[in-house]
Amino acid sequence: MKGTTPLDDEGLPGRPPALLIRGGHICTADAAARVHPTGSVLVVGDRIAAVGPVEEVAQAVARLTPGQRAGLRTLDAGSMLVMPGFVNNHWHDMFAVRLPFKGALRTPDDRADEPGFMALGGDIAKVSAGFEGFRRLVDALEPDEAGAVARYALWTQLRSGTTTLGDVGSVNRPEALADAALELGIRCSVSAWVADTVCTGSGTPERTRDADTELARIQQVLDRCAADRTGRLRAWPTAPYLTNMSDELGRGLARLSAEYDVPFATHVGALRHEAEAVRTHFGLTPVRRLDRLGLLNDRLMAVHCAFADSEERRMLLDARVHISHSPAKYGPTGESTLSETGLIPELKRSGLDVSLSTDGGVFPVMGMAEEMRAAWQMYNELAADHTTLPASEALAMATRIAARGLAWEHEVGSLEAGKQADLVLVPIDDWRYLLNPRPLEGYLTLGGTQDVHTVLVAGRILLENGRAPHLDEAGLQDDYLRALRSFSARALGIAEKELTALFDDNPRLRTRDTAPASRRV
């Protein structure tokens, strides 16, 4: 299949000299939450040159050089909601384990489901053992499997409007994620799944790996991404869970975060039973342990962070940590992370940055649109006040504030002159938006990921009319399903007859009879 979109020297859709996105309903997500009901965005190269009312931006167009005006491309956004690209700052590529372990393939009937290990306050020993199992699966991925999985996983993010991604440890090889981000054209802060302990409930953590080896692994990722010249690839140290991190590893991660001047992220205070389990194994509750290890500071992204005592709450505020949470994910996993304590909205009211993210899981999770909807509805319900979290603030939590958690806020997260031209366009011309002066509310009420129409990253149109012009999307899926099948049979031990029944007897999962090929078109 040959594409018609010209590609640049990076193999990505070429940028016109100038691009005018004209006449849309623009939600800038800037600090003033400016909205331009009939506005335009002018992009020159990879940056926003002007944003505002149509007439104002037209003046900026008139100031373009003759060459820029001659090559100007105009997108009619008259029936579009125009937003900054979504910043998903807490995500895991779990696509290699979308088939659960042997004997646990899901049935079409959900009535016999039992609570998982994150439900009912969390079975922390099982969580820790599960995270250790994920780490071992990373090592089991063959490079070609890792690449196919990473390309498809990141394509799902692009398709859902995410332009900047924060990998907080994935069941994939870091180099595969970095390569896929460059190939697809999105931004990514890459990490590695580093862990050197597991806590089984005995009171003594079991060492599983050498801490120095794990630190060297993440340092390789930091060095590789520091050398990137595209401006779209970064790296940061992360840890999956405090039960899977020794003191030695934690102090080393703190050193790397400071040395490279990058954020650090970990899941902390996520489950009701977590504090007692961490205290049993390490002598301190989670927030206090982070403090002891030198990780409680303004570089910390505390993921979830719903359970903390009064002293720990003060410590979080004093350290000016960043909170990232995923409200649309909690119900499907049985977590009460937002509703049980109300801590996350409380920390937001107290002045901490609180952002939204999708998290990751072995089953599909929501996109950023769904996370915005969940936050908008749940914050207001918890407060019994519909003005507590306006839709515009939910958008900021998914863009500008989320970018701060990745230390990327000076480049992305809002539509402002001088920032990178990362945008998402959504049609608002059907019955859901009729006579609604606030299309963003309409989008959060009845819209979602599937409505994303156009996505720009650094001034390149990477998604247009719901399709990626530089990718063979069907081929991406085929390669992913082949990799999933081979990995599931070899590393997960799923019997061939089960895989045959799942893949060959299900029309949705059949691949085309073609050999793997380059995903460029």
- Residue 4: pLDDT band (50, 70, 90) is low
pLDDT in tens, 240-297: 999 999 999 999 999 999 999 999 999 999 999 999 999 999 999 999 999 999 999 9
CA distance 71 to 62: 13
* Bridge partners, 43 (sequence order): 19, 48
CA nearest neighbour of 47 among 513, 372, 420, 383: 420
| 509 has pLDDT over 90 | no
Q: How far, CA to CA in Å, does 403 sit from each of 204, 343, 397?
A: 38, 22, 9
**What does the pLDDT average to over 35-55?**
98
Residue 366, pLDDT score: 82
**Contact present, 173 and 218 (Cβ < 8 Å):** no
- Identity of the amino acid at 470: H
| 81 has pLDDT over 60 | yes
| 520 has pLDDT over 90 | no
∠ Cα 321 327 328 (to 5°): 145
pLDDT in tens, 176-194: 999 999 999 999 999 999 9
Residue 14, φ and ψ in degrees, nearest 5: -70, 155
Residue 100, pLDDT score: 52
Q: Quick one: angle between helices 143-159 and 473-490, nearest 10?
A: 130
User: What is the SS3 assignment for 521?
Assistant: coil
Residue 519, pLDDT score: 43
CA nearest neighbour of 172 among 374, 443, 370, 360: 360
CA distance 501 to 488: 14
**Contact present, 302 and 322 (Cβ < 8 Å):** yes
CA distance 406 to 299: 9
Residue 102, pLDDT score: 42
pLDDT in tens, 371-399: 999 999 999 999 999 999 999 999 999 99
CA distance 384 to 109: 36
Neighbours of 33 (CB within 10 A): 16
Residue 5, pLDDT score: 73
Residue 210, φ and ψ in degrees, nearest 5: -85, 125
pTM of the model: 0.96
CA distance 14 to 30: 28
Lowest mean pLDDT among 183-197, 318-332, 406-420, 495-509: 495-509
Mean pLDDT of the chain: 94
- Max Cα–Cα distance, the chain, nearest Å: 73
CA distance 446 to 336: 25
Residue 105, pLDDT score: 65
Looking at per-residue pLDDT, the higher value among 518 and 216 belongs to 216
Residue 203, pLDDT score: 84
pLDDT in tens, 128-151: 999 999 999 999 999 999 999 999
**What does the pLDDT average to over 80-102?**
89
Q: DSSP secondary structure string, 103-139?
A: T-PPPS--TT----TTSTT--HHHHHHHHHHHHHHHH
User: What is the SS3 assignment for 18?
Assistant: strand
Beta strands in 460-511 (DSSP E): 460-463
Token pair listed for 283: 């002598």
**What does the pLDDT average to over 493-517?**
76
Burial pattern 409-437, b for ≥16 Cβ within 10 A else e, equals bebbbbbbeebbbbbbbbbbeeeebeeee
Residue 492, pLDDT score: 85
**What does the pLDDT average to over 118-127?**
95
| 445 has pLDDT over 80 | yes
CA distance 172 to 1: 29
| 167 has pLDDT over 80 | yes
CA nearest neighbour of 457 among 8, 60, 3, 77: 8
| 517 has pLDDT over 50 | no
- Residue 101: pLDDT band (50, 70, 90) is very low
| 303 has pLDDT over 90 | yes
pLDDT in tens, 355-371: 999 999 877 678 999 99
Reduced DSSP (H G I as helix, E B as strand, rest coil) percent helix, strand, coil of the chain, to 5: 40, 20, 40
**What does the pLDDT average to over 292-308?**
98
Q: How far, CA to CA in Å, does 449 sit from each of 86, 113, 453?
A: 11, 27, 9
